[in-house]
Structure 1
Amino acid sequence: MGGTARRWAVGIGSAFVVFWLCLWLVRAVSFGWLPKAEADRWAVAGAFGGAMAAAVGGLTAWWAGRGTQGGAGAGPDEGTVRQQARAGGEAEVEQVAGTLGRQAAQHRRPGRKKVSQKAKASDQAKIRQVGGDRIP
């Protein structure tokens, strides 16, 4: 199971657990302000459990939707890329932050990359830095 799928599983599971925990809590604990009728207590417990599950579900959906940012397991369109190049003489340097070649066209996704590029060239050197995908 990939990192993002695992995050979604945790998010859905935590919302489910919070709902049932809140439902049990309102049914088991006797608060003075809760209604006395059985049907009304179930309605309040369900509403409270649903509200808490929605809150937890919203937070975990935001977290799960972010995917992995940077660290281990980051895909080609995620994280931070820093490129630095220094070339002299007749050197040629090419740096691509995304995917190079035909794969770039086949696997194109909206990037979430932060790219920082610096370059210094002297004499007849050539430096080419691409912040995203490069399809030759």
Structure 2
Amino acid sequence: MSSAATRWTIAVLGSVVAFGALLGVGRLADFGWLPDGEAGWGVLSALAAVGAAGVLAALGWWASQTTPSPAPTPARTVDQRAEATDRAQVEQVAGHRFAPGAGGAAGTGGAPPTSVQQNATAGGDARIVQTGGDQYQ
């Protein structure tokens, strides 16, 4: 059963229970102004119906409230190109980078970027380090 159906079921059952409870309390209580016999049942039924309608109005409002659906997660795109000659080194990370022994754990830097484009060309003794997210030392 969906959440909305469950809430509406609770609202309707709550109003039925309220009607029964109000009718029962009305019959058990000694009201001097109530007529005797079937007329008394009619008055009590009308009062219980008004009370149950109030309960249904409150629970109906609650049942009609919807929770907003979460925003769609954008697609993540990563484009990395690297060219290294001689003894050059190129290191590319599209998300967050944690240095060894820094105590960082994956995910503590927040969500990785949704779009990363990295291009690197290195030669000789060059070393290029590119990080598409946060870098923690």
Query: TM-score, length-normalised on structure 1?
Result: 0.49
**Structure exhibiting the larger radius of gyration computed from Cα positions:** 2
User: Which structure has more helix as a fraction of its residues?
Assistant: 1
Query: TM-score, length-normalised on structure 2?
Result: 0.49
